[in-house]
Structure 1
Amino acid sequence: MSNIPSRTLPFGTLLGYAPGNVPAYSSDYSSASTVDYPKRSSYRSYVDGIYMGYKWQCVEFARRWMYCNYGYIFDDVAMAYDIFDLRSVRDLATNTRLPLNAFRNGSKSHPTLGSLLIWQEGGEFEDTGHVAVVTDVAPNYIRIAEQNVGHGQWREGHNYARELTAKITDDGEYWVKCSYGDAEILGWMTQTDDTRYAETSPIKNSALSTIKSLNADTSSITRKSWLNMANSDEAAFVEMMGGHYLTAVPEEQSRYFLLSKTAIDELEYATNELHGLFMHATEYVLCHDELLAKFNLPKAVLPKIRQSWDNRLNQLITSRFDFAQTPQGLKVYEYNCDSASCYMEAGKVQGKWGQHYLLNDSEDAGKDLFHDLCRAWEKSHAKGLVHILRDQDPEEEYHALFMQEALQAAGIDSKIIVRLHGLEWDSEGTIRDSDGEAVNWVWKTWSWETALDQIRAECEDDEAFEPQWSLGKPLRLSDVLLRKNIMVFEPLWTLIPSNKAILPVLWQLFPNHPLLLNSAFELNDELKATGYVEKPIVGRCGANIALFDQNQNLVEATSGGFGEQEKIYQQFYPLPQVGKYYTQVCTFTAAGVYAGSCVRVDTAMVISKDSDCMPLRFVGDKAFLAEH
C-alpha cells in the first residue's frame, strides 16, 4: 500500500515528525501566503546558519533530516535524481568527508534506516526526480518520510509519510515498488564504507585535471598579422598591445595552455554550481543586516541594492570566476560580477590566435563565448538604444568595442560614451547624449565602487541618495548609474557577490564545500595552520593582497589603492606553477551560465592587472594524456 495522503493542507503546515523529531511540512505552493512569504528569500531554509534548500521541497527535507540526525549533509544538487551520482557527504563537526554509496533498486545491499530513496526523473516526478528518507525496512514493505508528495497529514502515531511494497528475491535482492505507475525508483543512498553491490564510480585520473604548457609550431607561419584591422575592437587591441600579440612577452607569442575535455567539463559544472551558491549567499546577506554591514556599503544605497535584487535578479549579462586548477581539485578564489574583464581575450582573440597558428588538433576554450553573449543580450530586457560607458583606458576601449559588436549581433543599437562626454541634463531632468537621445539603458566598464566613492564623499552616512539634476550642474557618474529610470548592466546587486566579504558567508552557508576555500572575517587558528591570504573586501586586479605561509611568514604582497578597506582572510591555496608561470583559470558566464574559459599567468603568485592572458585550448582525454 502507498498511503498517499488525500487531503491537501496549506503551504507550511506541519505534516508529521520523522525519526529524530524532524518535522515535515506541506509544500503546496499554490496556497503559500504572500504575507508570510513575500519574496524569494522567504522560501530559503536554514538550520544553524547552514543552507538546507527551498521550503518545503524533498531535497530540503532529506538534507535537513541528515544534518539533524547525523551532523552531515550532501552537496547542493540541481535536481533530486542528481543525488544518486554523489559519492560523499560532509561531516561538519570533523571537517571530513564520509562515503555515500549508491545501490540500484534490486541490490543485495538492502536499504537501512536513514538511507535516501531516489526516484528517476519522469512521470509523477517529471524533470526533478524525488528523494525520501527511509524510516523502516521490512521484507515486504519499506516506510519513508518525505516532503512535496501529497501535502497531507501523516497518520496519527506514524513517523513516516508513506509505505511502499517491497520484495526480497531468493537471491537476496531487495526490490521496491513505486506507488506511481509512471515513475521509477533508481535505488537508495547509504552512508557506509561497504561498497559490495554499490554502483561503481569512474576512477578519476588526476592527470586529466592538470594544465599543460605547449608551444605552437611556427615553422610554416609567414604572416605576422592575424587580427582583422577593419574591425574596430581588434584594431584597438592591436594598438594597445603594440602588434598582433596576445601576450606582452615577445618570446612567448607561440605559447599556449592545454586542458583535457574532462577538465573543461568540470569547469563548466563548477561555474554553474558556484553561480547558484553565490546567489544563495547574496540573498542571505540582504536578509541579515549584521552581515550586510560588513560589506562597507553606504547606507544611502542599500535600499537601491535590495530593490535591484528584487527586480533584476535575472538580468546579469557578464561575470567571471577565478580558479586554481590542480590535480587535487578546483578551488574558486572569487566571483567578479561587476564589470568583469577579459571577455574579448577569451571570446575572440585567443580563438583567432589558434587559427593563425594552425592548431586544428585542439579546440578554443572560448569558442562559444561570443555566441552565448549575444543570446544573453537577446534575452535581456534591454529595449532601444544601449549606451556603453567606459573610462579613457586602452583596455576598456577594446572591451567596450567588443561588447558593442555583441549588442549589434543581438540586434540592439548602442553608442559608446567616454567619461560621460556629451551627456547632460535636459530641462525635464532626463539625461541625454550629444545627439539628444535619452539614456535609458547602460552597460558599463566602470566599477560600481567608483560611483559609490562619490556617494561616500557627498552624502552623510544615513542620508538617502537621489541623483540631483538642474541646468548648469555638472553630471556625475553616480547621477547616471543610480537614476531611477536608467537600467544599468551589470545590475547594482552585483556589488554583493563581487565583494570579498561574501566569501566568509559562503563558507558559513556551505561549510567544507569542495569548490570553496575556508574564509573568515577574523584570522583564526585554522587559517593560520593552513597559511592564509589577506584580501581587501573591495579591490580590483589583485591589489593589496598579502600571502602568508603556515608559519605566518609573508610570502608575497601587492600594492594598490585599496589598503584602507576592511579585510577578509582566505585559506592559502597557491596557483599551480606551470613552467615558470603561476596559472589561473578564468571561466566566463553569459546570463549566469558557463560560456568559456581562458588563463591568466604571471611569474608572481598573485594575478594582477598586468598579468598576461595566454591562449587556452582543450583536447579529448586520450589525446591530452598522450601529449608530452
Structure 2
Amino acid sequence: MSAPLDTVLGTTDGGVEVYCYDHETLGESALADRNDLKNVVDGITTGYKWQCVELGRRYLLVNHGVVYDNIAMAYDIFRLKYVRRVADNVLFPLVPQANGVATRLPAKGALLIWNPLGKFERTGHIAVIVGATASYTDIVEQNVDFTVWPAGQTYSRRLPTTTWAWRTALNELSDDEWTEFLSTDDADAMGWVTPKHCRHQYDSIKLVDVLFSPSIRVFEPLWTLIPSSKAILPVLNTLYPHHPLLLTSSFALTPALQAAGYVIKPVAGRAGANISIVDVHGSVVSQSDGRWSNDTPVYQELALLPKHNGKYVQLGTWAIGGEYGGTIIRADANKIMGLESFAYAMRVIE
C-alpha cells in the first residue's frame, strides 16, 4: 500500500531517513510555493522533498560532510567532477565508473546513476549504494517505491549483481580483477561515481591542498611564454655575443655551426620533441619525433651532455626573485631528454 507524502519509509546509514514522494497525494495549494518543498539540513539546502537527488545530497552531507553542485537532471551527476566539503569548501574529485566495465565493486556511499530511459526517461535517476557484494548491491532511493520498508531493513532495494572474473596466473586473482554488471528490471544503470576524499588531519591549509585541489588551476604568467620559446635563443646570442654561458644560436644554418656540429630545435617544441643532433660530419646522431615537425627551426651549437653511470645528465636550475630557487637532475640513456627521462630532486647542504 502506498504511503502518503513525507512518510518515513526507512532509515539507513547515519540515521538518514528515506521519505515517500507520492506527490499525487498533494493538493494544488501545497504546490503553490515551491520553497515550501525544499529540505534544509544544518543550514544546507539538500533539494526538493523528496526527490532522488535530494536523498543523494543529504546522504553525502550527513555521512561524509560533502555535497555536490546543483544539477538540472539526475543523470547529470555522472558528469560532475567533484564534491565540496561543507566545513571548509575544499573540493574532492568524483571518480566515475561505467556500468559493466568497472574493475571493482562500487564502494559504500557511491552514487548509482541511471540513464534517462524507461521509467526514468525524462530525468534519469540516482540511488546511493549502501552495500555491495559479488551477489547483490543494496541501494537507498527516493521517488521510486512508496511503501514502508520491512522491520530491520536498511535499504530500499537489493539489486542482483552478475559477476565474473578471470585469472592471469593461478595465484593472481585479486579484487581488482573482478568486474560486475548491475541488473535492473526497468532501465540500465549507466554507472556510479564515488567521492574520493579523506578527512583533514591538520588545522591549517597545506600546500598539497592547493596543488591537488581539482577546483584550482595554476597558470604561469604570460611573460613565461618568452623565455620558454626557443626563438629567444638567437636573440640572446645577438644581445650577448660570445657569452661563456650561451651557445651560439641562429635562425639559419651557418658555416660555423656546421663546422662545430649543431642541434635543430623547433621554436615551440616541448619535452625534447622533434630534436635532431647533427655531428661535425653532417650525420644525424640522434633525433626525436613529435608534433612540431613543421615548426620554425632554431639551430644551436652542439654541446653534448656529460655521461655518468651510462646515462646522460642535465641540470635544471631555477631563480626566484633573482636568487637561487632550486635544482633538479635529469638523466637518460638517450642523448635527448624527454618526458620519460628520470628526474631527481636535489638539495644543497651548506
TM-score (norm 2): 0.51
Question: Partners of 1:127 and 1:81 in 2: how far apart?
Answer: 10
> 1:343 corresponds to which residue?
none
Instruction: Tell me, yes or no, if structure 1 residue 165 matches structure 2 residue 160.
Output: yes
Which amino acid in the other structure matches residue 179 of structure 1? D
> 2:46 corresponds to which residue?
52
Which amino acid in the other structure matches residue 109 of structure 2? G
Match of residue 178, structure 1, among 175, 184, 195: 184
> 1:434 corresponds to which residue?
none
Question: Partners of 2:157 and 2:121 in 1: how far apart?
Answer: 20
Instruction: Tell me, yes or no, if structure 1 residue 192 matches structure 2 residue 190.
Output: no
Question: Partners of 2:151 and 2:27 in 1: how far apart?
Answer: 27
Deviation at 1:179, TM superposition (A): 2.5
Q: Secondary structure at the match of 1:189?
A: strand
Q: Is the 8 A contact 1:164 1:179 kept in 2?
A: no
Question: Partners of 1:155 and 1:145 in 2: how far apart?
Answer: 14
Question: Partners of 2:55 and 2:106 in 1: how far apart?
Answer: 18
Question: Partners of 1:34 and 1:26 in 2: how far apart?
Answer: 18
Question: Partners of 1:206 and 1:30 in 2: how far apart?
Answer: 50
Q: Secondary structure at the match of 1:65?
A: helix
> 1:116 corresponds to which residue?
111
Question: Partners of 2:180 and 2:153 in 1: how far apart?
Answer: 24
Q: Secondary structure at the match of 2:24?
A: helix
Deviation at 1:45, TM superposition (A): 1.4
* Structure ranking higher in helix proportion: 1
Name the structure, 1 or 2, with higher relative contact order (CA <8 Å, separation 6+). Answer: 1
What RMSD over aligned residues (CA atoms) do the two structures have, in Å? 2.3
> 2:3 corresponds to which residue?
9
Instruction: Tell me, yes or no, if structure 1 residue 104 matches structure 2 residue 108.
Output: no
Q: Is the 8 A contact 2:78 2:96 kept in 1?
A: yes
Return closer, same or farther for 1:18/1:37 CA change in 2, 3 Å cut-off: farther
Q: Secondary structure at the match of 2:165?
A: coil
Match of residue 23, structure 2, among 29, 32, 35: 29
Match of residue 143, structure 1, among 138, 147, 151: 138
Question: Partners of 1:86 and 1:35 in 2: how far apart?
Answer: 35
1:302-317 equivalences in 2 (<5 Å): none
Match of residue 76, structure 1, among 49, 66, 70: 70
Deviation at 1:94, TM superposition (A): 2.3
Instruction: Tell me, yes or no, if structure 1 residue 66 matches structure 2 residue 70.
Output: no
Unaligned runs of 5+ in 1: 1-6, 195-203, 211-628
Q: Is the 8 A contact 2:37 2:48 kept in 1?
A: yes
Deviations 1:231-262 (A, max 9, x none): xxxxxxxxxxxxxxxxxxxxxxxxxxxxxxxx
Q: Is the 8 A contact 1:143 1:160 kept in 2?
A: yes
Question: Partners of 1:37 and 1:25 in 2: how far apart?
Answer: 18
Q: Is the 8 A contact 2:161 2:183 kept in 1?
A: yes
Question: Partners of 1:193 and 1:102 in 2: how far apart?
Answer: 14
Return closer, same or farther for 1:37/1:141 CA change in 2, 3 Å cut-off: same
Match of residue 147, structure 2, among 147, 152, 158: 152
Deviations 1:336-381 (A, max 9, x none): xxxxxxxxxxxxxxxxxxxxxxxxxxxxxxxxxxxxxxxxxxxxxx
> 2:283 corresponds to which residue?
none
Which amino acid in the other structure matches residue 17 of structure 1? T
Return closer, same or farther for 1:205/1:70 CA change in 2, 3 Å cut-off: closer
Unaligned runs of 5+ in 2: 167-177, 199-215, 223-350
Q: Is the 8 A contact 2:105 2:133 kept in 1?
A: no
Q: Is the 8 A contact 2:55 2:141 kept in 1?
A: yes
Deviation at 1:193, TM superposition (A): 6.6
Rg larger for:
2
Which amino acid in the other structure matches residue 196 of structure 2? T
Deviation at 1:37, TM superposition (A): 5.5
Which amino acid in the other structure matches residue 157 of structure 1? G
Which amino acid in the other structure matches residue 115 of structure 1? A
> 1:309 corresponds to which residue?
none
Deviations 1:379-426 (A, max 9, x none): xxxxxxxxxxxxxxxxxxxxxxxxxxxxxxxxxxxxxxxxxxxxxxxx
Q: Is the 8 A contact 2:12 2:154 kept in 1?
A: yes
Question: Partners of 1:127 and 1:34 in 2: how far apart?
Answer: 23
Deviations 1:289-338 (A, max 9, x none): xxxxxxxxxxxxxxxxxxxxxxxxxxxxxxxxxxxxxxxxxxxxxxxxxx
Question: Partners of 1:41 and 1:92 in 2: how far apart?
Answer: 22
Q: Secondary structure at the match of 2:119?
A: coil
